[in-house]
């Protein structure tokens, strides 16, 4: 399982949400040495498969495979086994799949992959829950699912910045917390309804921050990444 590095750069996960390998290589070249982990998500993995993982690994950077696996326990266990053979460091499953599915994923991963339970997408707000038959507030849903992830033996959870403090109070330091929906001060939130700045998320107890568009869309992606790393370092120093 991936160890939690104290290097602030290794707390920043670049979301490589691009449509093809050429675009991925170009962005990776521009940020090489400035980010510690790279997230390969549905768009790139669906288009390019394991080759998307290889272009990250060949640069010596950790791979976070974000597929949000959600299926019957046996199928998810098989997918985790396949991800293990690809050499990824982190992998997401969806906590909505239930205790048995989560436990099978954790068992299959062993100590080779940190399996993270996605609690509630950061694009969802309170008004989005009832139409999908989810009861409670976003925080209540996230806390319930974080407890389930901990009980099932997962290595961490994915949640919005707004739930980090509550999760830390609920499950302590046993789970790594990965936080998407990060927007530097002054950035547009786009489709993120539960967002926060890097400093506030780290200050509240998040371990890793996932950042995509503020880096990808910057004129100088390396400089944008360095600015976020500096915020992370300052926030860690205050914790």
Q: Is 68 a catalytic residue?
A: yes
**By the 8 A CB rule, do 41 and 69 touch?**
no
Q: In the Cβ-directed half-sphere of 228, how many Cα atoms lie within 13 Å?
A: 35
96/81 Cα distance (integer angstroms): 20
Token representation of residue 105: 């994923």
Helices then strands (H, E): number in the chain? 10, 8
108/105 Cα distance (integer angstroms): 5
Residues contacting residue 18 through CB under 8 Å, at least 6 positions apart = 24, 27, 43, 44, 216
Selected catalytic residue, list 39, 57, 68, 193: 68
Residues recognised as catalytic: 68
């Amino acid at each position: 399982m991936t160890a939690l590095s104290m290097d602030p750069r290794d707390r920043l996960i670049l979301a490589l949400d691009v449509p093809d390998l050429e675009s991925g290589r170009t962005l990776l070249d521009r940020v090489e040495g400035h980010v510690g982990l790279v997230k390969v998500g549905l768009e790139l993995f669906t288009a390019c498969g394991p080759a998307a993982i290889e272009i990250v690994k060949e640069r010596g950077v950790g791979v976070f495979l974000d597929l949000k696996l959600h299926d019957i326990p046996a199928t998810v266990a098989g997918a985790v086994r396949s991800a293990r053979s690809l050499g990824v460091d982190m992998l997401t499953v969806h906590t909505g799949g239930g205790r048995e599915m989560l436990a099978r994923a954790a068992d299959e991963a062993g100590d080779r992959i940190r399996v993270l339970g996605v609690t509630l997408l950061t694009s969802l707000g309170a008004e989005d829950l009832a139409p999908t038959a989810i009861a409670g507030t976003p925080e209540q849903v996230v806390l319930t699912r974080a407890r389930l992830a901990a009980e099932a033996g997962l290595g961490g959870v994915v949640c919005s910045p707004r739930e980090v403090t509550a999760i830390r109070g609920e499950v302590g330091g046993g789970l790594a917390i990965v936080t998407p929906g990060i927007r530097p001060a002054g950035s547009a939130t786009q489709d993120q309804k539960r967002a926060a700045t890097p400093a506030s998320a780290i200050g509240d107890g998040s371990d890793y921050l996932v950042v995509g568009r503020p880096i990808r869309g910057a004129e100088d992606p390396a400089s944008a990444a360095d600015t976020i790393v500096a915020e992370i370092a300052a926030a860690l120093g205050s914790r």
